[in-house]
Amino acid sequence: MPIQGFLFDLDGVIVDTAIFHYQAWRRLANSLGFDLSEEFNETLKGVSRTESLDRILAHGGLTLPETRKTELATQKNNWYLELVSRMTPADILPGVTAFFSQVEAAGIRTGLGSVSKNARLILDQIGMMDAFDVIIDGTKIAKGKPDPEVFLKGAAELGLSPSQCVVFEDAVAGIEAARRGGMPTVGIGSPAVLTDADLVIPSLERLTIADVLALAPVSRA
């Protein structure tokens, strides 16, 4: 069946707020008496807020009750949102707007597949709320990436089968989620990191629809 839908991750594909997440998590870790490296932050890409907090607390050797963890996650999110509130359409990553024009002209349906609970807020800030036919975000899923739920829901809401949808992702966990869902993948980033993607490009700049449609639906046992 031909490819008829594109599912886009948000953070690292449409915008890049990884530095905001890092600043906010680092501030939180510092308040608890330890630090976080940039390398450690890399491992949190595509990972949900609660899972990220669990990994950070384990990294700092802390075990805390659920009520305290909820407070900490809220504090981090408030710091993160302060930074997000300053975003504008100028924060859309290079190549995104031109690629979306091509996608629309080709009649390909689009979906957002993000684990972020702030996805709609970010889309609103950058003026891209209407760019997607369907939006699946952290408020609509029970399991984060690498579980395929977010992308399977995206395909289902588009009325397409998974193999008719290509997933665009910057995170290893996101590529794994798409593969587990049976979808071809375009990795945005480094081929050395996104080793399992069907095609890896540094950004959406210069990507053509033809390049993407050439990715035959992959059947994996």
170 flagged as catalytic:
no
Q: How far is the CB of 45 from ligand B16 (least distance, A)?
A: 5
Number of residues lying near ligand B16 (CB under 6 A): 20
CB atoms within 10 A of CB 71: 12
Token digits for 77?
């999110």
Of 26, 45, 109, 179, the one binding ligand B16 (CB under 6 A) is: 45
CB atoms within 10 A of CB 151: 29
Q: How far is CA 86 from CA 20, 75, 81, 124, 147, in A?
A: 11, 18, 9, 12, 31
The answer to whether 183 and 172 are in contact (CB under 8 A) is: no
* 204 burial via Cβ count (<10 Å: 0-12, 13-18, 19+): buried
Q: Which does 176 bind (CB under 5 to 8 A by kind): ligand B16, Mg ion, none?
A: none
Find the binding residues for ligand B16 in span 67-86 (CB under 6 A): 77
Q: Which does 212 bind (CB under 5 to 8 A by kind): Mg ion, ligand B16, none?
A: none
Among 75, 78, 53, 79, smallest CA distance to 66 is for 53
Interface characters, 131-170, with ligand B16 (x: CB under 6 A): -------x--------------------------------
Phi-psi region of 12 (alpha: psi -120 to 50; beta: other; left: phi over 0): left
Of 12, 162, 181, 187, the one binding Mg ion (CB under 5 A) is: 12
Of 4, 110, 114, 163, the one binding ligand B16 (CB under 6 A) is: 114
Q: Which residues bind Mg ion (CB under 5 A)?
A: 9, 11-12, 46, 170-171
Q: Which residues bind ligand B16 (CB under 6 A)?
A: 9-12, 21, 44-49, 52, 77, 114-118, 138, 171
